[in-house]
Every structure is written in structure tokens, then in C-alpha cells.
Amino acid sequence: MTPLVLVHGFMGGSAQWEGQRAGLANCCEVIALDLPGFGLNADLPPIDSIGGFADWVLAELDSREVHKFHLLGHSMGGMIVQEMAHRVPDRIDRLILYATGSVGVLPGRFETIAQSKARARADGAAATARRIAANWFLKSEASPGYAACAAIAEHAGLEAILAGLSAMESWSGQARLPEIAPETLVIWGDRDRTYRWPQVERLWQEIRRTSLSVFADCGHAVHLEDPDGFNHVLIRYLT
């Protein structure tokens, strides 16, 4: 059974995927990672480039002797898995790009990366984690999944937050989209405040073998806002 590797986004962590561990148990083994500086690996030195994150994930999978896998990346994690798809296309069975895009500097983002950096320095890591996590949900702090998601985000220190923002700021995979070889599924919530439709449409149109699943009335965290629907889409795609 081919495992599914889950790569979380900015200020995420492996704990956010508990609904997928349970919901996909009969479909595949789920391997949820914590990137350096975030989640359970908040004590590791932060990485400030998307390519550096991709190399770290590959080294971690090598250490676990995971050689062939399905691969899902959420948000910043979607940028990381695009880099992995260029590095090791033959090791990836099916690719899932979830609530992500092909550039790190996002037109229409709820605030610019420069603003996020300035506010993080002024407000501190914990307040930044809670504020940005609220933007991932359609109903912000009132969403049922918000509190747990914000608690995961609060593991990140200021250095990791700034490094992650710098990693996104300096990255673009737009020119290489046609070179992505694995079969790809793009997932998006139509009320996402971070990734607007033009970013998602570009992935869908420019990657050679791709399909699209759009969730109505969901924000940036579809897997927490509609976990059953999200898991159903993954099971159909992976099987």
C-alpha cells in the first residue's frame, strides 16, 4: 500500500491531520510531517527557502526508508511538494496540491508578506499565530477547528515565522509548472482568503496531467472545515 505523505503549510504541524489519519486508515498509511521550526519540530533550526524545505522532507523520508509515496502539500507545503516533484518525480505516485499556488508572493493575499513580517515583529509570535490562523477559516475564530489550529500555530517562534515568510517571498515555481510529471489533483476552497482563483486556475491549466476539486463555502482549511468531504475526495483520487 503506497503511503500518503502530508506536508503542512506555514505555521502548521502534523497534529492538524488527525481527521485524515482516521478517515484514510482503510485507504493508505498516512505520514504527517512537522517541518523544522513548526509543530513538534519547533525546536529545530528554521529553514528560509522552499528548496531547503524540500530537501529536508526528502532526507526525512529517506531516513524512514519511504521511497515511493503519494504526496500532498497544503499552502506553503504545496510549494514544497512542487519542488519535490521536480527533484524526484519517479518517487511520487500521485501529487495533491491543496490550497496553494505557483508563486510565493501572492496577489490578493489578506495582507502582504512585508506586512506579515512587520506585524509579527510588533505583535510577537503567539499573537501572530492566532491572527493568521483565523484567516484560514470561513468563520474565523468562530469556526470549530480554529482553536486547535491556532494552538498548533503557536508552537512556531518568531524566527521560524520570519524564515517561513522569507521562504515564500523568494520562491516561484510558475515557469516550471508544465514540467511537473506526476498525475496531480488540485484542491481549493472557493472562499480562500490567501489563494485566489487565478492562482489555482494556473495550476489546473498548466500542469499537464491534472484534475480539480473545488469545495463551496470553505476557506483555506478545507480539511478541517469539511473533513468528511475532503477525505472522500482523497480516497476517490488515490484508489
Concatenated DSSP letters for 56-83?
Answer: HHHHHHHHTT--SEEEEEETHHHHHHHH
pLDDT in tens, 140-149: 999 999 999 9
C-alpha closest to that of 117 among 163, 66, 57: 163
Question: Strand (E) positions, the chain?
Answer: 4-7, 30-32, 69-74, 92-98, 183-189, 210-215
Per-residue CA distances from 37 to 151, 156, 214 (Å)? 15, 6, 31
Is the full-model pTM beyond 0.95? yes
DSSP labels, 99-131: S--SBSS-TT-SS-HHHHHHHHHHH-HHHHHHH
C-alpha closest to that of 75 among 139, 135, 131, 19: 135
pLDDT in tens, 14-44: 999 999 999 999 999 999 999 999 999 999 9
pLDDT above 90: residue 209 = yes
Report how far Cα 227 is from the mean position of its chain's Cα atoms. Answer: 15
Phi and psi at 186, nearest 5°, equal -105, 125
Average pLDDT of the residues in 181-185:
98
CA distance 11 to 152: 7
Report how far Cα 158 is from the mean position of its chain's Cα atoms. Answer: 20
pLDDT bucket at 106, cuts 50 / 70 / 90: confident
pLDDT bucket at 196, cuts 50 / 70 / 90: very high
Average pLDDT of the residues in 188-214:
96
Identify whether the C-beta of residue 86 lies closer than 8 Å to the C-beta of residue 181. Answer: no
pLDDT above 90: residue 110 = no
Average pLDDT of the residues in 104-128:
89
CA distance 224 to 227: 5
All cell numbers assigned to 34: 512537522
Instruction: Calculate the average pLDDT of the chain.
Output: 96
Percent of the chain surpassing pLDDT 90? 92
Residue 175's CB: how many other CB atoms inside 10 A?
9
Residue 216 belongs to what domain range? 4-238
Total number of domains in the chain: 1
CATH classification at residue 25: 3.40.50.1820
pLDDT in tens, 153-162: 999 999 999 9
